[in-house]
A and B are shown apart, each in its own frame.
Chain A
Amino acid sequence: MKQDIILAGVGGQGILSIAHVIDNAALKEGLNFKQAEVHGMAQRGGAVQSHLRLSSEPIFSDLIPKGSADMILSVEPLESLRYFDYLDPEGIVVTSSSPFVNIPNYPEIDEVLSQVLSVPKNIIVDSAALAQEAGFSRAQNMVMLGAASPHLILKEENLKEFIRALFQARGDKVVDINLKAFDLGRDASSKKR
């Protein structure tokens, strides 16, 4: 059993929080994992990605080989496209439809989404609207984790346990908002199946 995931987004969108939750859930389920992330200069509002590998077998490379990612999970639609050459031909793209525009030449959003739709298995979720609905605009990362969750090899209860652990220090209200964001993402994703 293995799952190779490319996490994508823009620096500051919280993709490392998604990785943190998945890493800990994987550890709890007795899986091996390696998760390569980007620090330093790129984190300043640039394109960021993390290679996250889960497996019941030993994992060698920290990087996912091109052509073998089972999932691209992106908090931003343009960013999901950047890693298409990593995707296994059978792989799934789970992406937000909410553009993060901090560059002057951002393409037409419809064209970006039509690229995502060209992948046979795709889930597109309006993470900005759902994060608002959950009560915190910056919870888009947890919306997207929820949207990916039906397709992850990890149990939902374990993911939720580590969402709680991650936000606990900031109070029950923050925990509840993030759990709600996760649920809204999951439900939106399930409806599209």
Chain B
Amino acid sequence: MEQEILLGDEAVALGAIHGGLSGGYSYPGTPASEIMEYLIRAAQKSQAFRASWSVNEKVALEEALGVSYAGKRALVSMKHVGLNVAADPFMNAAITGANGGLVVVVADDPGMHSSQNEQDSRYYAQFSQIFCFEPSNHQEAYDMTREAFDVSERLGLPVMIRMVTRLAHSRSRVQIKTPKAQNSLHYGDGKDWTLLPVNARRRFKLLTEKQKELIRESDASEFNSLHLNRKNTELGVISSGIAYNYVLENFQKNEERPSLLKVTTYPLPEGLIAKLVDHVETILVVEEGYPFIERNLRGMFGLCEKEVRGKLSGHLPMTGELSPEVVRHGLEMEPLSRRHISDFPLAGRPPQLCQGCGHRDAYDALNRALVSYPESNVFSDIGCYTLGALPPYNAIQSCVCMGASVSMAKGGAEAGVHPAVAVIGDSTFAHSGLTPLLDAAAVDTDMTVIILDNATVAMTGGQPSYASGEKLIRIIEGLGVSKDHIRTIIPLPKNLETNIQVIKEELDHKGLSVVIAARECVQQARKKRGS
């Protein structure tokens, strides 16, 4: 059988292609970006399906929904917080249902390696009442994605695949199976897809009635497994996704293992859980993310005459990422012997802006321009430039979510912050900055927006930006910002004095102004040169 070395993300992508994918959509975000990177490379090679970056996750999900309506198979991928952006179509797609298979891949980031929170997407699957897979390894990431399209069409609902960073960014071997053909065009029923109350009430009732079928599907899934240890009725373990691996890591030999239920599908396989719970006195739940299974199992009053352990009980930590040793502790096993660690002070090495990066020069100019305004506040956004929060710049006071710099600066200005400055990148601006700037332009808010235009989505590896260069300027004009107060600077050391002057002039302008700091990302420039 053919095998390939793939990242977990790439296994999802190849599983989708071999599951008969017709269209893939996404917005870059760690740890999900490599799914679309792989799809785009494959689509360029085969020309057999569509794969492209969208302007944001909401747009991506709606594009995928259009493919599904047309009867074909679609995948949309995003990082966990991207699903917040796409939550509107996500929730409503559970009401319209899926016509062609619709798979929503969401990559969570426990431990916040490259994110602003640890939200657990399984709650979104439960919230919208759709089926969800949680692979534990690369082969399952491939197999489940391939299968998810069938499940989606069988249930008539979107299906979620929940990834986590450690699987998304781990590489291993995957056995490749025979590709399936794409669907032909067959439209959905307009009455199911037009969510007027009269239709939506009927569809929502149907969705709730389908839940029993979803649980049956989960109980019957070949990806779940139950091992009952007949000699040990004390401890049983329920573990999901990659947490299952951390349990096995601590019981290398089969005969040492306690009773163990591996959960990879949601809604929870109630029949399998009942069998495990019946067999043991104490149940330890090991799961990556929030205590989702544990809370469901415990309910408000706990299980009668059984002890439920996990994050809520304090056996495992409520925050951060699991690891083999954290799970070992939860299993109440002795730690492995390690080297004695000396108290040698290890200087930290945080990430930083690249040498020669234009953001450095932009922050130098901004910091110098703001010296004479001690009451100023700089609201910032999601991207490489968030690193401006760290020394030596210490240049920004906020970073919340995509586009929030512009809206927060407007709110701040209206509360009396002066000068109120927003710092946002070109792609983040395209993603979610246009609408708040339209807001600010409508009332000519006294604030200054600095758009760092490096012509790419840099932090995630250089994906295309849809609002850069001349087009960016025309968009800003179109939103209603006065031409006199749309200024462009080139952030280079030699331009420092000029740039300070331009920024100061716009800070002093009583009204809305936009300063575009335009210079290509140094990493992208290097790639183009081929070094």
Contact = CB atoms under 8 A, between A and B. Distances in A.
Nearest to A41: B114
A14 interface: no
Interface string A122-137: 0000000000000000
A65 B325 contact: yes
B114 A39 contact: yes
Interface in B1-16: 3, 5
A60 B338 contact: no
Interface in B339-362: 339, 341-342, 344-354
A65 B328 contact: yes
Interface string A51-95: 000000001111111111000000000110110111111010000
B101 interface: no
Contacts of B248: 60-61
A182 interface: no
14 contacts: A11-B351, A27-B5, A33-B173, A34-B171, A35-B170, A41-B351, A41-B459, A42-B351, A44-B353, A79-B349, A81-B346, A87-B339, A89-B338, A103-B347
A24 B173 CA distance: 10
Contacts of B33: 39
Contacts of B348: 47, 103
B245 interface: yes
Contact of B336 (A41, A68, A78): A68
Contacts of B171: 19, 23, 33-37
B31 A44 contact: no
Contacts of B335: 66-67
A23 B338 CA distance: 26
Contacts of A88: 338
A45 B114 contact: no
Contacts of B482: none
Interface residues of A, number: 52
Interface residues of B, number: 47
A152 interface: no
Contacts of B342: 115, 118
Given A44-B354, A61-B245, A107-B347, A66 B325 contact: yes
Interface in B292-343: 323-325, 328, 335-339, 341-342
B172 A33 contact: yes
A32 interface: yes
Contacts of A27: 3, 5, 173
Interface of A: 10-11, 19, 23-24, 27, 32-47, 59-68, 78-79, 81-82, 84-89, 91, 102-103, 105-107, 111, 115, 118-119
Nearest to A47: B349
A40 B31 contact: yes
B345 A107 contact: yes
B114 A106 contact: no
Given A34-B171, A36-B170, A45-B351, A81 B344 contact: yes
Contacts of B31: 39-40
Given A42-B113, A60-B245, A103 B349 contact: yes
A78 B348 CA distance: 10
A115 B339 CA distance: 12
B34 interface: yes
Contacts of A107: 344-345, 347
B157 interface: no
A61 B324 CA distance: 7
A46 B111 CA distance: 17
B491 to A, nearest CB: 17
Given A34-B172, A36-B166, A66 B338 contact: yes
B166 A63 contact: yes
Interface of B: 3, 5, 30-31, 33-34, 113-114, 166-167, 169-173, 242, 245-246, 248-249, 323-325, 328, 335-339, 341-342, 344-354, 384, 387, 459-461
B344 A111 contact: yes
B344 A115 contact: yes
Contact of A63 (B30, B324, B344, B460): B324
Contacts of A41: 30, 113-114, 351, 387, 459
B246 A61 contact: yes
B352 A46 contact: yes
B58 to A, nearest CB: 22
Given A23-B5, A40-B460, A119 B339 contact: yes
Contacts of A35: 170-172
Given A60-B248, A63-B166, A106-B347, 6 more contacts: A27-B3, A45-B349, A60-B246, A61-B249, A67-B325, A103-B349
Contacts of B3: 27
Contact of A62 (B166, B173, B325, B345): B166
Nearest to B3: A27
Contact of A60 (B249, B337, B351): B249
Contacts of A32: 172-173
